[in-house]
Chains A and B, each alone.
Chain A
């Protein structure tokens, strides 16, 4: 059974950093691209970042809101994807979902984690 479990969320002050982890199981992690999607309280979905599998260079892509502040990475030996979030702003407050991408093109996310709540507030 495929599982994605996010951890590392919490309350953080503006300007500080936080790292989310997504621990995967039930599939060969290194064979898939991984992504993060967030949802601000009461709002819609916003794609944040994704990282390609090593076979495709392990390259990364970011939404404008994340570029320069967030870094997505992966440790295939541990089946974990990370989202390092620096210089956090109040508008980064959201539930952050880890997703598994099942195709080589487009946001075809066949599995989602339960989400990690990040609250940025002083």
Chain B
């Protein structure tokens, strides 16, 4: 199975400041179709997870443009350009190139 790791596991951010989360996979997530199957989800406190980013860098409908995804191969990053109070929660990356789909351990983001 592909192992997903995330750093840091916890992040405390001042509102208005940027934040960055790293996600690494144990194998390349680049498919022969040219796409890279890496996704980001946010689980806000007490809520179900919600899709933020798909295929590394495509923002899902309604996701604010302060969220951006980047990376390739095995190394990926989620960036929040200016953190807002509503961005608190746990961020998960997940790979989709091989079954079983595997999630990272999550990065908990809170506000200072």
A interface residues with partner B (beta carbon < 8 Å): 37, 44-47, 61, 63-64, 97, 103, 105-110, 112-115
Q: Are A44 and B103 in contact (CB under 8 A)?
A: yes
Separation of A109 and B37 alpha carbons in the complex (Å): 13
In the assembled complex, which residues on chain B have CB atoms less than 8 Å from the CB atom of A45? 41, 43, 49, 92, 94, 103, 106
Residues of A within 8 A of B41 (CB): 45, 109
- Across the A-B interface, give the 7 residue pairs with the lowest CB-CB distance, nearest first: A106-B96, A112-B48, A106-B37, A47-B101, A107-B101, A45-B103, A63-B100
Q: Is B73 an interface residue (CB 8 A)?
A: no
Q: Chain B interface residue count: which class?
A: 20 to 34
With A44-B92, A97-B48 known as contacts, the answer to whether A106 contacts B39 (CB < 8 A) is: yes
Name B's interface SS. loop
Least CB distance, A49 to chain B, in whole angstroms: 10
Q: State the main secondary structure of chain A at its contact with B.
A: loop
A108 with B49: in contact, given A44-B105, A45-B41, A47-B103 (CB under 8 Å)? no
CB-CB contacts of B47-91 with A at 8 A, as 1s and 0s? 011110011000011000000000000000000000000000010
A120 vs B61: C-alpha distance in the bound complex, in angstroms? 37
Q: Which A residues lie within 8 Å of B7 (CB)?
A: none
B102 within 8 A of A: yes
In the complex, besides A105-B35, A106-B39, A107-B96, 7 extra interface pairs with C-beta distance below 8 angstroms are: A44-B104, A61-B99, A64-B1, A64-B100, A105-B96, A108-B96, A109-B51
Determine whether the beta carbon of A107 is less than 8 Å from that of B48: no
- Which residues on the A side are within 8 Å of B92 (C-beta)? 44-45
